[in-house]
Chains A and B, each alone.
Chain A
Amino acid sequence: MPRRRSVLTTLLIVLPWTILLTIWHQNPATRYLTILRKETYENSTAKSLQILINVTQIKEEQHTACAHQQESTPAQQTARRYVYSRPPGWSRWLPTIYVITPTYTRPVQKAELTRLANTFLHVPNLHWIVVEDSPRRTNLVDSLLERSGLNFTHLNVESPKSVRIGLAKDSSHTPRGTLQRNLGLRWLRENLILSDSLEGVVYFADDDNTYSLELFEEMRSTQKVSVWPVAFVGGLRYEAPKLNAAGKVVGWKTVFDPNRPFAIDMAGFAINVRLVLKRPRANFQLNGVKGGYQETSLLKDLVTIAELEPKAANCTKVLVWHTRTEKPTLVNEGRQGFTDLKVEV
């Protein structure tokens, strides 16, 4: 009996240590968390107490430490180290934000995508799906995405000429970007596997809008579909969902057609990616969509108004602006062009 016990004990000791040694041996590049201490306590004792934890998946950490003092402690100062990188390291704990951006070639395209990328570079766990309205993926967008350092997917689908030029029957409101957004949704459905552990949010971000960093943190917790106010839409300073006292969406604070099922702009909602995968038929309607109803054409197949989750402090803060960029005047280019076309603008 005692013999069996000592065998068992030896096994229980040897096994985990060998596994640990194997892991540490296999990951020489593994970074270990070190505990930061207050300057006054920087001594070898701290170093000898490093806890070794494998953090290969997480590139940057910010550690706080509080030194435990035996004498009376003054303020509980935390030592912080900002490890800065572009973009912030991928984290296993944050739901991924899939941002779908339709884009098309025009003079200001590179500028728009540049400043958009500059914003996205601050957002952790962001996956940018850029869908060009073009027959082929262009070099301009390709190299911009590569150089940015962002996590991205580069797609393209060409809209029929009528849509692009704006000669559709419904010339009052040609749904631009529809095919591209639908392709983005299709990519998600083909490349992600629906499971309970899949966490993510889908957001449609046009390339000329302005996004605050807070917006992305607000949408991360979306369970089904979340909504918030958007500035400069509907001929107003902002449009916003109408909430009741219980914090549920009951209507829409808009002047233009407030009786639409979802009187909200493309930039005013986000969808949980699981919901997108669960409803594979839900897409933006391409033809026969009345002006202002494009968002509805998708959302009606995903959610009811009662299920909407209001964000941005119960829809009282504006975190996204529907800005539009002027078309630059290029009169002085003349017929033959003055500037060198090989220089990319």
Chain B
Amino acid sequence: MPKRRDILAIVLIVLPWTLLITVWHQNAIAPLLAIRKASHHLIKELFIMPERLGVRWHQLADDGSDARRDAGQGPDSKEYCSSDKDIVEVVRTEYVYTRPPPWSDALPTIHVITPTYSRPVQKAELTRLANTFLHVTNLHWILVEDSQRRTALVTRLLHETGLNYTHLNVETPRNYKLRGDMRDPRIPRGTMQRNLALRWLRETCNVNQSQPAIVYFADDDNTYSLEVFEEMRSTRKVSVWPVAFVGGLRYESPKVNAAGKVYGWKTVFDPHRPFAIDMAGFAVNLRLILFKPQAYFKLRGVKGGYQESSLLRELVTLNDLEPKAANCTKILVWHTRTEKPVLVNEGKKGFTDPNLEI
């Protein structure tokens, strides 16, 4: 009799004290830091648990960097269950979040089409672009390389970001009459790549799809705020908004009347174009892309600044445009351009290790 009571007393004492110490461990403040160090040992104390459930958390401080790298590579398979013990070790885990936000069935998908090409700053551009995209829910990145083959650099980068992506490539034909391997200057840059992405969407997506989607053309050197993606999500046909640093201005923007309809373009350069808007200034509902399978960017014979018109005139009229960004009064995307880095000190033979990827 007394024995059972002793055991009960011991449990009633030990349990709350260990819980308390765990709580204080969580709330470690400077004066309690010393206690924390002492209780670190106690944290590994054993809880008695029923056999059916085993729990094991990891202390980030011990294997922090590993935990973070694992988080970027998929499920951690280093766990093991203590299958034959009743008593389980309890350690806490924290992970760094570099994953995109979880997919939501309620939000339209945004298909972002980005043409890209190899040059020194490519990896830097794609890295910071990915860092922005990683915040956007339901984003599908369609990256199209201007190359003969999909490069290892881009393949690895896309895989490491954890983004939802499709990796395509098509090479713009070179104009051999020109020096070096200059591409055919008659074809505006990125056109074939954007068209390939449109074709991929038409071949992959079902017209009768229930979940709506938006298509956006994002060049790899522009700067995007997170708001622009939320603005474009509600696009029914084609939505438009201002873009900074285009047309030789601080920004170009659609002209919106009192009724909230687009009736013209606030630009200096050729404001009479059907769609005097930059590639980064509009988004198209996927349904429209699928309903008009002939609509593509014109490859040849396109005057400077008319490339966007060559696609949009097949899809929509001025009247149907939906102005976003507070009736086109806010700048949410900037047409930034990155300087070409100076590599004079590489010399003829190259100074740095060409195997080291930049």
Stretch at the interface among A81-89, A169-177, A274-282, A285-293: A81-89
Chain B, interface size category, equals: 35 or more
CB-contact partner of B81 in A76, A93, A94, A318, under 8 A: A76
CB-contact partner of A68 in B13, B47, B83, under 8 A: B83
CB-contact partner of B226 in A23, A93, A118, under 8 A: A118
Report whether B57 and A111 are in contact in the complex, using a CB–CB cutoff of 8 Å: no
Q: A49-B53, A64-B57, A235-B345 are in contact. Are A88 and B96 (CB under 8 A)?
A: yes
Report whether A323 and B121 are in contact in the complex, using a CB–CB cutoff of 8 Å: yes
Chain A: how many interface residues by the 8 Å CB criterion? 103
Chain B residues contacting A316 (CB-CB under 8 Å) are 356
Classify the secondary structure of B's interface with A: loop
Report whether B337 and A325 are in contact in the complex, using a CB–CB cutoff of 8 Å: yes
Report whether B64 and A236 are in contact in the complex, using a CB–CB cutoff of 8 Å: no
Report whether B336 and A326 are in contact in the complex, using a CB–CB cutoff of 8 Å: yes
- The distance from the CB of B131 to the nearest CB of chain A, in whole angstroms, is 4
Contact count A vs B, C-beta below 8 Å: 283
Report whether B23 and A53 are in contact in the complex, using a CB–CB cutoff of 8 Å: yes
Chain B residues contacting A112 (CB-CB under 8 Å) are 223, 336
CB-contact partner of B19 in A46, A52, A322, under 8 A: A52
The verdict on A19 contacting chain B, using a C-beta distance below 8 Å, is yes
- The distance from the CB of A102 to the nearest CB of chain B, in whole angstroms, is 19
Classify the secondary structure of A's interface with B: loop
Q: A9-B13, A53-B26, A321-B124 are in contact. Are A118 and B93 (CB under 8 A)?
A: no
Report whether B9 and A55 are in contact in the complex, using a CB–CB cutoff of 8 Å: no
A positions within 8 Å CB-CB of B: 9, 12-13, 16-17, 19-20, 23, 35, 37, 41, 45-46, 49, 51-58, 60-70, 73, 76-78, 80, 82-86, 88, 91-94, 107-108, 110-112, 114-115, 118-119, 121-124, 195, 197, 210-213, 217, 220-221, 229, 231-232, 234-238, 240, 253, 255-256, 316-318, 321-326, 328-334, 338-339, 343-345
Report whether B20 and A20 are in contact in the complex, using a CB–CB cutoff of 8 Å: yes
Please give me the residue from chain A that is nearest to B344 by CB atom. Answer: A235
6 further A-B contacts with Cβ under 8 Å, apart from A58-B94, A122-B97, A235-B346, are: A16-B19, A73-B81, A88-B97, A231-B341, A231-B358, A328-B336
Chain B residues contacting A238 (CB-CB under 8 Å) are 352, 356, 358
Report whether B331 and A345 are in contact in the complex, using a CB–CB cutoff of 8 Å: yes
Please give me the residue from chain B that is nearest to A331 by CB atom. Answer: B248
Report whether B345 and A210 are in contact in the complex, using a CB–CB cutoff of 8 Å: no
CB-contact partner of A345 in B81, B124, B134, B244, under 8 A: B244
Chain A residues contacting B9 (CB-CB under 8 Å) are 9, 13
Report whether B16 and A84 are in contact in the complex, using a CB–CB cutoff of 8 Å: no
CB-contact partner of A84 in B12, B99, B268, B345, under 8 A: B99
